[in-house]
Amino acid sequence: MVNKELALFVRSLMPEGKGRGDPDRPVSMWNELDRLRGYPEKTTVVIFRTRGCSWYKFSSCSMCGYFNDTQDVTEENLYHQIDHVASTMNSDVLKVFTSGSFLDPMEIPDGVRSYFYERIGQKISKLLVESRTEYIRPERLEELRKIGIPVRIAIGLESANDYIIENSINKGSSFKKYMDAASAARKYGMEVRTYLLFKPPFISEKAAIADVLDSIRKVRDVTTDVSINPTNIQKNTLVEYLWKNGLYRPPRLYSLAKVLIEGMKIGPEVISYPTGGNKDRGVHNDTFDDRLLDLIVKSSLNQDVAELEQYMESLDLSEFWSMIEEEDRSMVQVDFERMIKQALSAVPEI
């Protein structure tokens, strides 16, 4: 399930050096709103500083630049990071990110995970952890079950289409692996959050819309919710390489709104809290639209698209959808807007 040529090219873009942050502190920690208990509420997010995703040894997903935050840390460093979170977090709900997989024992050793459960498990009422499929194993599900609080495991499926997983996203995984892992998690009483990537490279925006909706249909019976992540341009990634060469454009907000509205009608809860929205490197229309971005987040938090639908209906988007159709028919997905900007900046002033 790996396109070797693609995997090697992605590898060649990744820097050799490691990050140099404080090894005793997480990369980052903040509060945001999410609805892990079925309603919007304050949720703490922490990104632990770790050696990073096991996939980085070979390659990386085409949009993922979290390797930029990784560095060699000892078990001792990880204990200190956990202590820091335990003493500073101020909400009942915690989402744990690691630039990889919380359940990967090479990244978070078993003893460190046990310490985390002991130190933090009692302080919270709901936990979300992220993991690649290969680490969602019975023994780790059993330890999660023992904490005694509801846990949601977030899995990056990205697309239910194996061709896209292999030749566009370079995930080093498959739909079957996702289904097996998600089913195992459900068997142990866990909830599942499924990440879908909206508009991976090499496919048109129209195809990307169809792919996300099709993926939601395929996972609706096994997932608790679906989180749609519109591709954003992260440093040293394949997506950035293509974008810098005018060969990739992040998705438009109009398309994300459409996916959210139609996706919610399919079944599971569907959310999208876009990173870098209304910025050149994130999801944006040609003209930035703050109201639309706010409505996308609000609809996600409330699971109610009425206002978003009303807003979309108030716009005349016929030209936009024709452009999306035309783009789909062209072989190369060129970012004309950026190419023109680059060309203009190269013209000397008179």
Binding site for ligand SF4 (CB under 6 A): 53, 55, 60-61, 64, 66, 99-100, 132, 156
Q: How far is the CB of 286 from ligand SF4 (least distance, A)?
A: 28
Cβ closer to ligand SF4: 44 or 229?
229
| Residue closest to 3 by CA, chosen among 11, 328, 155 | 11
Q: How far is the CB of 172 from ligand SF4 (least distance, A)?
A: 7
Residue 4: enclosing H or E segment and its boundaries?
Answer: helix 4-13
CA 279/CA 262 separation, integer angstroms: 24
Q: How far is the CB of 154 from ligand SF4 (least distance, A)?
A: 10
Cβ closer to ligand SF4: 100 or 200?
100
Provide the total of helices (H) and of strands (E) in the chain, helices listed first. 13, 8
Cβ closer to ligand SF4: 132 or 284?
132
Start-to-end CA distance of the chain, whole Å, equals 54
Q: How far is the CB of 234 from ligand SF4 (least distance, A)?
A: 9
Residue 127: enclosing H or E segment and its boundaries?
Answer: strand 126-130
Residues 6+ apart with CB under 8 A from 245: none
CA 160/CA 9 separation, integer angstroms: 23
Cβ closer to ligand SF4: 7 or 213?
7
CA 67/CA 259 separation, integer angstroms: 29
Q: How far is the CB of 130 from ligand SF4 (least distance, A)?
A: 8
Cβ closer to ligand SF4: 132 or 152?
132
